[in-house]
């Protein structure tokens, strides 16, 4: 399983693609000038084919590993309600959304996800047995802040779900967002990885799993907090319940 660390985030988010391409071009140019052409024509194609094959296998394995985090073992797993969230569909004619600066379906999606993630973390930490120094301070107060304006990774794919005698393709989404020390102090304390799997037969209901990992160079699996089922589900977006969303924790 892959965890987001400062090292991986630096490579994926801070180093621009142009710098990566430039480095690859320099490496290729160095190889062309230092290696005999006969060697390149003999060894080059098999090496490139091997790299392509290995990369394809690694990508497939990563996809299966990430999907296994949230995919139910049986079809009956989709009937569970405590690990589900419900989103409101975007309506471009909604004046309230326009006033709040939400001008696209994606903006509305990430706003609702941020609000629901905060509520799930808050509900999880409110259970005494789940109290963790990563989530609360020495006084037992929540000490994290999340904003929909900060999305570090966002990947959309498809997952094949067996429905009766047939198979159905549903959305599988993974995104990550930083958790800051406070609203004012943008010191990153952790990263929350959000796995979403669309419930078959719906377009606005998802199974959700959260993984909160401390933001440091090397983070072990034991240091991560995984949040799946919470009582009272499915959790509905506050835009459905007409409350005023608050994403401060």
Please give the pLDDT value at position 1.
Answer: 43
CA angle 121, 144, 116 (to 5 degrees): 35
Q: How many residues does the chain have?
A: 249
Whole-number pLDDT of residue 202: 87
Measured CA distances, 231 to 112, 123, 187 (Å): 20, 9, 31
pTM (2 decimals)? 0.78
**pLDDT per residue as tens, the chain (249 positions):** 444 555 555 555 566 667 777 777 787 777 767 777 776 677 777 878 888 888 888 888 888 888 888 888 777 777 888 899 999 999 888 888 888 888 899 999 999 999 999 999 888 888 767 777 777 766 666 777 888 888 888 999 998 887 767 788 899 999 999 888 777 777 888 889 999 999 988 888 999 999 998 887 777 777 888 999 888 878 998 888 875 455 545
Cα 208 to Cα 71: distance, rounded to the nearest angstrom: 10
Preceding peptide of 234 cis, ω within 30°: yes
Can you read off the two tokens belonging to residue 199?
A: 């419930």
pLDDT at residue 42 in the model: 79
Q: What pLDDT does 168 receive?
A: 84
Q: Quick check: helix, strand or coil at residue 179? A: strand
Look at the block and give the residue holding tokens 């990263």: 191
Residue 37: per-residue pLDDT: 73
* pLDDT recorded at residue 47: 79
Q: Rounded to the nearest 5°, which phi and psi values hold at 13? A: -110, -35
The alpha carbon of 41 is separated from its chain's Cα centroid by a whole number of angstroms, namely: 42
* Residue pointed to by tokens 């290729």: 28
Joined together, the tokens standing for residue 30 give 């160095």
Q: How far apart are CA 50 and CA 236, in angstroms?
A: 47
Q: CA gyration radius for the chain?
A: 22
């Amino acid at each position: 399983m892959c965890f987001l660390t400062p090292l991986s985030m630096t490579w994926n988010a801070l180093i621009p693609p142009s710098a990566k391409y430039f480095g690859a071009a320099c490496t290729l140019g160095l190889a062309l000038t230092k290696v005999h052409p006969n060697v390149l024509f003999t060894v080059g194609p098999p090496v490139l084919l091997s790299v392509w094959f290995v990369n394809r296998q690694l990508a497939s394995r990563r996809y299966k590993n990430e999907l296994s985090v949230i995919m139910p073992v049986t079809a009956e797993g989709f009937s569970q309600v405590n690990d589900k969230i419900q989103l409101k569909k975007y309506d471009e004619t909604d004046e309230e959304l326009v006033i709040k600066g939400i001008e696209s379906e994606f903006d509305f999606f990430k706003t609702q996800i941020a609000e629901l993630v905060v509520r799930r973390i808050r509900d999880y930490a409110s259970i005494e047995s789940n109290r963790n120094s990563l989530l609360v301070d020495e006084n037992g107060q929540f000490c994290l802040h999340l904003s929909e304006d900060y999305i570090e990774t966002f990947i959309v794919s498809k997952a094949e779900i067996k429905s009766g005698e047939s198979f159905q393709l549903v959305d599988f989404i993974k995104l990550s967002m930083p958790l800051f020390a406070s609203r004012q102090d943008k010191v990153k304390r952790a990263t929350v990885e959000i796995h979403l799997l669309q419930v078959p037969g719906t377009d606005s209901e998802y199974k959700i799993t959260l993984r909160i990992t401390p933001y440091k160079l090397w983070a072990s699996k034991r240091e991560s907090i995984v949040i799946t089922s919470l009582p009272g589900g499915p959790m509905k977006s506050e835009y459905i319940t007409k409350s005023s969303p608050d994403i401060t924790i």
